[in-house]
Amino acid sequence: MMLRRRLLAAGLAAPIGAACAARDDYAEARRRLLDEIERDMRATAGTTGRERLDPRIAAALGNVPRHRFVPAHLAGRAYENRPLPIGHEQTISQPFIVALMTELVDPGPADRVLEVGTGSGYQAAVLAELVAHVYTIEIVRPLGERAAELLKELGYVNIDVRIGDGYLGWPEAAPFDAIVVTAAPDHMPQPLIDQLAPNGRLIAPIGSRYGIQRLQLLRKDAQGRAVTRSVLDVRFVPLTRQR
């Protein structure tokens, strides 16, 4: 597996993948959360088309310490299957939704992935467990800076964080094999479609600020033709421009 976590604890020669889950007090809570996510996967399979998580993705979720990505006073609730506030009127997404979006973009070990809406950095960390490199953009500077610091502290060396408007993508690093948008625009951003590689997958919640949003999955074929399908009703914070 493409685990890029450096072992920070003093001199322990544990296998890297198992390191994190084994070394905090929340391993059991994370395992229970995974059971809940699998239940939600089965319950929504009719519209998502996915009955269960790929074992690689389940392992990635088991490795990332979500309690580090929420404010300290909410650490005890980090393994509830729900979104939580992270300040600046933003939220860390519900774990099931993170799992589902990760599942639907079929992350491969050699992939280069763009995330729009870094927020806490949690989704970026989950992706970084699975792919070669993650580029993530956040428009609220203090959130992006905090996430970059935490991801570095946790040893993720395959994530680049940028402050800016993710609607425009990250042209210098394109094309991407997958793009995950975690704030809701009212239409699929054309720059992101343009920056998706042939055979690439783009997932985004599309809809108005107050109305229903639909999670949409866009796939490009080998010739670069895009096909979009609607996956599930969701609720995300809006994608904003020019903050």
- The CB-of-14 to ligand SAH minimum distance in angstroms stands at 26
Residue 140 interacts with ligand SAH (CB under 6 A)?
yes
Tell me whether residue 208 is one of the annotated catalytic residues: no
Q: Which member of 41, 59, 61, 239 binds ligand SAH (CB under 6 A)?
A: 239
Cβ closer to ligand SAH: 229 or 241? 241
Residue 166 interacts with ligand SAH (CB under 6 A)?
yes
Catalytic residue among 93, 120, 208, 230: 93
Residues 106-125 that bind ligand SAH (CB under 6 A): 116-117, 119-120, 122-123
Size of the site for ligand SAH (CB under 6 A): 24
| DSSP per residue, the chain | --------STT----HHHHHHHTSTTHHHHHHHHHHHHHHHHHHHHHHS-SS--HHHHHHHHHS-GGGSS-GGGGGGTTSSS-EEEETTEEEPPHHHHHHHHHHT---TT-EEEEE--TTSHHHHHHHTTSSEEEEEESSHHHHHHHHHHHHHTT--SEEEEES-GGG--GGG--EEEEEE-SB-SS--HHHHHTEEEEEEEEEEEE-SSS-EEEEEEEE-TT--EEEEEEEEE--PBP----
- The CB-of-116 to ligand SAH minimum distance in angstroms stands at 5
Residues 20-49 that bind ligand SAH (CB under 6 A): none
Give strand pairing partners of 78: none
Residues 173-192 that bind ligand SAH (CB under 6 A): 182-183
Residue 91 interacts with ligand SAH (CB under 6 A)?
yes
Q: Which member of 41, 114, 217, 237 binds ligand SAH (CB under 6 A)?
A: 237
Cβ closer to ligand SAH: 62 or 224? 62
Burial-class residue 199 by CB neighbours within 10 Å (0-12, 13-18, 19+): middle
Residue 207 interacts with ligand SAH (CB under 6 A)?
no
User: Which chain residues interact with ligand SAH by CB under 6 A?
Assistant: 90-93, 116-117, 119-120, 122-123, 137-140, 143, 165-167, 182-183, 237, 239-241
Residues noted as catalytic: 93
